[in-house]
């Protein structure tokens, strides 16, 4: 045991054991109440930084004739820029906000590159002092959930920076011990559920593990209660495959994965596993991947290089677990199958009736599932999402991929840049 009490470690024939070592609706806007988001569409410059789509801020030299560039008279400079509209005058700064809407239809090259080309052209014009992108800044707000101060994991991965970077959440399936639907921080988040242990639609969490995992992924955020989450716009599918002792047959787990895919999951989280040999879940995971679903799995708490399944299946993204100082826990399993690492030591999240702090790779996996939810909420496909999570991870171990951190500790802020 790492810290405090440990969930069941018994291995039963044909059973898969949970990996944790436990220690004892939709997000609201971070804008002031009543304030709405700007109506401008968000685009990205070639560096991947968010900007007002198709817009540039043109600053003119003193006493320059602005109409030379964007006046309404024919032949006065607008032809080379396509369809142009002056969005806003900034007279005190001798500047204009100009929209180049014609660039949105560019088929010859990406829109960002087209806008960059216009920017360079304007900078060479004798009446222009300088040209800026109309960058999108975000308020450096902190979620008002009182438990956020205890959530180093959400902060370490830099999830708050992503809250304004995706419009729609996706469905994330939690294949686990169930979810407490009526938890104040999860109310309205579970859109469907099924109990594969008892073959009914009751997904009551008699253990607390699935509820804890769910809070990391999609707890209601900035609601003045409890904790924040990694993907507050995501919704949840409760696929109950583990009993109150956190034991579940691989057949039930495979069925839970299949049901999740058939019910619209874009991400499936598997915070469970054992060192037993391969079984039927691999087929279900491969089916999920073939249908555009990202599968995240706990890398293991055994502290050895013996492969842990289902994390070690090629179709799953295996997640090791780290602490506040970005070091892997001595209990974190390692090996060539580890893809990335994420916080898993002393994680604070939801449990039936309240909140608690626990440790284990069961909780690094949902941090990664939440990031996958954010990226897919930006419109990325499953393969692109997996590659993005890996490519933007903070390289903490030996240079490049290594057995303890994989590609590194996940970084939501960097991954969610366009």
- Residues marked as catalytic: 176, 209, 362
What are the strands of the beta sheet with 20-21, ordered from one edge? Answer: 20-21, 354-360, 347-351
Check: CB of residue 300 under 8 Å from CB of residue 311.
yes
- Of 153, 132, 249, 158, whose CA–CA distance to 195 is shortest? 249
Q: Tell me how far CA of residue 103 lies from CA of 48, 98, 285, 324, 339, in angstroms.
A: 17, 12, 41, 45, 39
- Of 309, 277, 279, whose CA–CA distance to 295 is shortest? 309
Secondary structure (3-state) at 270: strand
Neighbours of 353 (CB within 10 A): 12
Alpha carbons within 13 angstroms on the beta-carbon side of residue 187 total 9
Q: Angle, nearest 10°, between helix axes 382-391 and 361-377?
A: 120
Tell me how far apart the alpha carbons of residues 245 and 95 are, in angstroms, rounded to a whole number. 66
Alpha carbons within 13 angstroms on the beta-carbon side of residue 214 total 39
Q: Are strands 265-270 and 20-21 parallel, antiparallel or unpaired?
A: unpaired
Centroid of chain to Cα 52: 23
- Of 336, 294, 321, whose CA–CA distance to 173 is shortest? 294
Q: Tell me how far CA of residue 27 lies from CA of 117, 183, 338, 397, in angstroms.
A: 38, 15, 32, 35
Secondary structure (3-state) at 181: coil
Tell me how far apart the alpha carbons of residues 264 and 230 are, in angstroms, rounded to a whole number. 20
| CB neighbour list of residue 162: distance below 8 Å, 6 or more residues apart | 374, 412, 413, 416
Helices marked H in 245-304 — which ranges?
Answer: 250-262, 281-290
Tell me how far apart the alpha carbons of residues 388 and 418 are, in angstroms, rounded to a whole number. 10
Containing 390, the helix (H) or strand (E) segment is helix 382-391
Eight-state DSSP code of residue 77: S
């Amino acid at each position: 045991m790492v810290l405090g009490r440990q969930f069941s470690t018994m291995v039963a024939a044909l059973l898969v054991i949970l990996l944790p070592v436990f220690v004892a609706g939709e997000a609201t806007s971070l804008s002031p109440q009543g304030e709405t988001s700007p109506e401008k569409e968000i685009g990205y410059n070639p560096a991947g930084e968010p900007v007002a789509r198709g817009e540039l801020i043109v600053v003119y030299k003193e006493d320059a004739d602005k109409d030379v560039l964007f006046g309404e008279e024919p032949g006065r400079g607008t032809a080379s820029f396509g369809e142009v509209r002056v969005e806003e005058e900034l007279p005190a700064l001798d500047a204009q906000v100009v929209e180049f809407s014609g660039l949105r239809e560019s088929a010859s090259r990406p829109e960002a590159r087209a806008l960059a080309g216009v920017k360079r052209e304007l900078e060479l014009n004798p009446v222009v002092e300088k040209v800026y992108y109309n960058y999108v800044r975000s308020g450096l707000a902190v979620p008002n959930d009182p438990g956020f101060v205890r959530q180093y994991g959400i902060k370490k991965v830099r999830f708050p920076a992503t809250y304004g970077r995706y419009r729609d959440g996706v469905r994330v399936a939690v294949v686990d011990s169930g979810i407490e639907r009526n938890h104040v921080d999860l109310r309205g988040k579970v859109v469907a559920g099924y109990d594969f242990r008892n073959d009914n639609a009751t997904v009551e969490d008699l253990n607390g593990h699935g509820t804890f995992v769910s809070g990391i992924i999609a707890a209601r955020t900035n609601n003045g209660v409890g904790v924040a989450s990694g993907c507050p716009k995501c919704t949840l599918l409760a696929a109950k495959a583990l009993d109150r002792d956190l034991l579940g047959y691989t057949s039930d787990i495979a069925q839970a994965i299949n049901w999740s895919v058939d019910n619209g999951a874009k991400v499936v989280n598997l915070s469970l596993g054992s060192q037993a040999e391969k079984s039927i879940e691999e087929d279900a995971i491969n089916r999920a991947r073939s249908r555009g679903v990202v599968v995240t799995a706990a890398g293991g708490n055994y502290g050895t290089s013996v492969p842990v399944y289902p994390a070690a299946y090629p179709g799953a993204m295996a997640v090791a677990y780290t602490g506040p100082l970005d070091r892997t826990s001595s209990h974190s399993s390692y090996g060539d199958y580890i893809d990335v690492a994420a916080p898993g030591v002393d994680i604070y999240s939801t449990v039936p009736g309240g909140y608690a702090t626990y440790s284990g790779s069961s909780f690094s996996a949902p941090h990664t599932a939440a990031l996958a939810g954010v990226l897919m909420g930006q419109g990325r496909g499953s393969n692109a999402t997996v590659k993005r999570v890996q490519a933007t991870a903070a390289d903490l171990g030996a240079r490049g991929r290594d057995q303890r951190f994989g590609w590194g500790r996940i970084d939501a802020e960097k991954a969610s840049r366009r």
